[in-house]
């Protein structure tokens, strides 16, 4: 039996999801239809809400900037 992909529930301020390649961590695309997301292979693709993805991206960039600034001290 095939494993179904985990699709997080959208919060009231978020209207879309992003599909992310597990191999490269690159965004495949932004999607608005849950039915489309169900077609992805969960072993190859991770689904996040767009809001969650952007929050994670901002946190990674902030940590990267903090580390860079610490190198220059």
Burial class from Cβ neighbours inside 10 Å (0-12, 13-18, 19+) for residue 24 reads exposed
pLDDT in tens, 15-61: 999 999 999 999 999 999 999 999 999 999 999 999 999 999 999 99
Separation in Å, CA 33 to CA 7, 29, 47, 48, 67 = 11, 12, 12, 13, 38
Give the global pTM: 0.81
- C-alpha triplet 11, 23, 55: angle, nearest 5°: 30
């Amino acid at each position: 039996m095939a494993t179904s992909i985990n699709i997080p529930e959208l919060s009231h301020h978020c209207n879309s999801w992003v599909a992310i390649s597990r191999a490269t961590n690159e965004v495949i695309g932004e999607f608005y239809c849950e039915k489309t997301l169900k077609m992805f292979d969960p072993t190859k693709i991770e689904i996040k809400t767009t809001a969650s993805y952007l929050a994670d991206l901002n946190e990674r960039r902030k940590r990267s900037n903090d580390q860079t600034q610490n190198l220059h001290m």
